Amino acid sequence: MRTHLLTALTSLAMALTAGAALTRAHAQPAPLAAPSKAPPCPAVLQQTAARLQDEKPQSLCQYSGKVVVVVNTASFCGFTPQYKGLEALHDKYQSRGLVVLGFPSNDFSQESGSNKEIADFCESTFGVKFPMFTKTSVSGKDASPLFKQLASTTSTPPRWNFYKYIISRDGSAVTAFNSMTEPGSSKFLAEIEKQLAKP
């Protein structure tokens, strides 16, 4: 009788031990999925620029993986109404991965205001919501590193206000358009559609 009791107790203990081990095995957390990697930052975007509204430094690498339109702007130019088209462009395509980046410049003597005055003008006159940066030199030996690189890549430095550069998602292709090219022109939109279609 005692032998049977000991055998039963031993069997019960073994079953409980096995059950506890099984419970621990099931309680182990599943391995975490590897976080999705951010796209590498193209060389052309490895720059820092100060935001127009508060002059805080911003890394342009935050736009990695997007199709980027860079444009040098001015408040007192015959092409200044292009702000409206640029904002419409940004609004239409941003959900597909487009961003417009505006860089006011006085290189052509048509942007004399302070950064605050430029910000107020852009917002109140044209409702600009796309990212804008502080007044920047875009041509010649004093051009910012970004515009030097754009000019070098395309052999087309800005020769007036509202030159536009379309940068592909991976930064491997940069296409330049002069001031006469409206943001809504067919050739400009065709290049944007082409770049947005690429993964």
Supply the pTM of this predicted model: 0.81
CB 99 within 8 A of CB 62: no
Query: Choosing from 41, 61, 77, 122, which is the catalytic residue?
Result: 77
CB 110 within 8 A of CB 161: yes
91-111: b (≥16 Cβ within 10 Å) or e: eebeeeebbbbbbbbbbbebb
Amino acid at 150: L
Question: Could you report the per-residue pLDDT of 35-73, keeping only the tens digit for each?
Answer: 557 789 999 999 999 999 999 999 999 999 999 999 999
Give the chain's domains with CATH numbers: 43-197 (3.40.30.10)
Contacts of 182 (CB under 8 A, 6+ apart): 82, 85, 188
pLDDT of amino acid 38: 72
C-alpha to C-alpha distance for 96 and 114, rounded to whole angstroms: 33
Q: Residue 61: which of 76, 49, 74 has the closest Cα?
A: 49
Neighbours of 172 (CB within 10 A): 12
Has 61 been annotated as catalytic?
no
Binned at pLDDT 50, 70 and 90, residue 199 comes out as confident
Mean pLDDT score of the chain: 88
